A and B are shown apart, each in its own frame.
Chain A
């Protein structure tokens, strides 16, 4: 079996994430077992050799991250899967992926933290780590699925974004979405838009490894005769290291702008009954499913409340949040952590934003959120 045939499946999130990646063209997986994402690694070990891809279980997450970057530079679409502790170990090489403009996908299934925390149960404490985890300035792209269907679809989208913007893209799922079993509908292969990688093979004269005057330059794959230098040091367009602040400025602005200028194309969100709402609940991942129920219940009581669900956590859906801030006087941000995304919502909306803290280990109870909505609107 090459690709999951079209049809309906009763499957869990980790299955969907794996098959989505294979649909997207992932042919290399390196990983290290960690609850709750181990099923992705296990399924990849079955599936990739079947389709002529490569699977390797590395010695740790640092090695896994390095290996997928190496594989990507070797010409393969690649990915890894991990959870909080492993994601922390990967941060340095995520930065390597950013500075060398290497496309790859990192799946982080959030669990309870800090440290080992509650390995087998849900958390949403890595949200800011997906934004600021690696040192230096970066413009990350992070997707947060809230269902099995979305796990499949967003995995494909993450691969497309990685190839387009040439940087590691993070899929921040969580333990519940990963282990949730529900309907997954897979379409025909030709109904999916898959970005194929373009590579440069030969070098014309003084052509650089990078071109900072353009947002997108195709990468070169090792062994094709391009003879380029790929460097973790700040480098100029030729790929050569430099100590100059002016080169850092040129490189860094290129790295940030290729994402920032295209935020409108990347940003995705879901809205639920926000048209006339006086209060907007911002929620992502599994929390959004509790929020949706709470909003429905509140609407039955006649309360004008809606839900805004960022599908891309980063780039932050700034424009839309600002618009919503004009019509509603308040935001509520329930999260399975002690206030992370709420800071960004407050910062970008410049509006009263109420944090709702839920300890890792359980999905938020909709009744608690409902009570909070009632308190705000009554």
Chain B
């Protein structure tokens, strides 16, 4: 039964690079698979898909996808993707990066890309800490939880990512965990057709860092924790869905926002047509 064959995603991954760099129990591989599943179903040719990332564990995802992939500097995936999308609007540009990359060092870029309603799909993998550097706390670390740099417990409130994205005017906002691969795939698939800024937060376990510091024995326990403490509520009031699981609060998941709002590329092309005298 274990004869050597190609994985069904053979055409979509760089198989010669496997096994990948991520730790046992890391959810990023699942995230990559969900993205590739959605890509297959999107109907957009594989050649038109581009993956861009910043720096971090999540930012290594593009390196394993058999697409045109760009691994840039820490926090700068979004502006890089912005430039690329404007220069070639035919591309379906997806930015896939971690919470630290997109919201700490790259927070300003996120604010502005969402405000512009830039035609990008942003998948933010949230593992509640800086994984690659050894599990230090960041802006998404839940209150009172421990990390390599909050040994006495975190005293800083966290970002509520879907609320931020929605307040900035993103066209599409969702939150899932890697324990919900089918819902996540469907969400990414929907977001690929969205005109404007689409944002999906994906909660993912980080067993050797966040998990270890907060009493999870292994990745499976952390996955079970996500499964047990999450509820799906698509019409949730976004201001109430900040993540605070260690004080008995449910993690609210769902496709929260899907609205029509003029995207940057549409408006820019209208402007160019107007200036050039009716679309030459």
Contact = CB atoms under 8 A, between A and B. Distances in A.
Contact of A78 (B50, B63, B83, B271): B83
Given A62-B76, A63-B79, A63-B112, A74 B84 contact: yes
Interface stretch (B85-93, B137-145, B224-232): B85-93
Given A52-B276, A70-B81, A74-B88, A230 B112 contact: no
B50 A75 contact: no
A131 B132 CA distance: 31
A50 B276 contact: yes
Contacts of A230: 68-71
B275 A223 contact: no
A224 B47 contact: yes
Interface in B7-30: 14, 17
Interface centre among B52, B79, B109 (most CB of A within 10 A): B79
Main secondary structure of the interface of A (DSSP, over half): mixed
Main secondary structure of the interface of B (DSSP, over half): helix
Interface string A205-225: 000000000000000111111
A74 B85 contact: yes
B118 to A, nearest CB: 9
What interface size band does chain B fall in? 35 or more
A75 B80 contact: no
Contact of A54 (B48, B78, B86, B280): B86
A49 interface: yes
B71 A233 contact: yes
A64 B272 CA distance: 21
29 contacts: A28-B86, A28-B87, A49-B276, A52-B280, A56-B86, A58-B112, A60-B108, A62-B76, A64-B79, A66-B83, A67-B82, A70-B52, A71-B86, A72-B83, A73-B70, A73-B80, A73-B84, A74-B87, A74-B88, A75-B88, A76-B87, A78-B83, A93-B72, A96-B76, A223-B88, A227-B67, A227-B68, A231-B63, A241-B63
Interface of B: 14, 17, 47-48, 50, 52, 55, 62-63, 66-73, 76, 78-88, 90-91, 108-109, 111-112, 268, 271-272, 275-276, 280
Given A30-B79, A78-B87, A222-B50, 13 more contacts: A52-B272, A58-B82, A60-B108, A63-B112, A66-B80, A70-B72, A70-B79, A223-B48, A227-B66, A228-B68, A229-B14, A229-B62, A232-B71
Interface of A: 27-28, 30, 49-50, 52, 54, 56, 58-60, 62-64, 66-76, 78, 92-93, 95-96, 100, 220-233, 240-241
The 7 closest A-B pairs by CB, nearest first: A70-B83, A67-B83, A74-B87, A63-B79, A71-B87, A70-B84, A66-B79
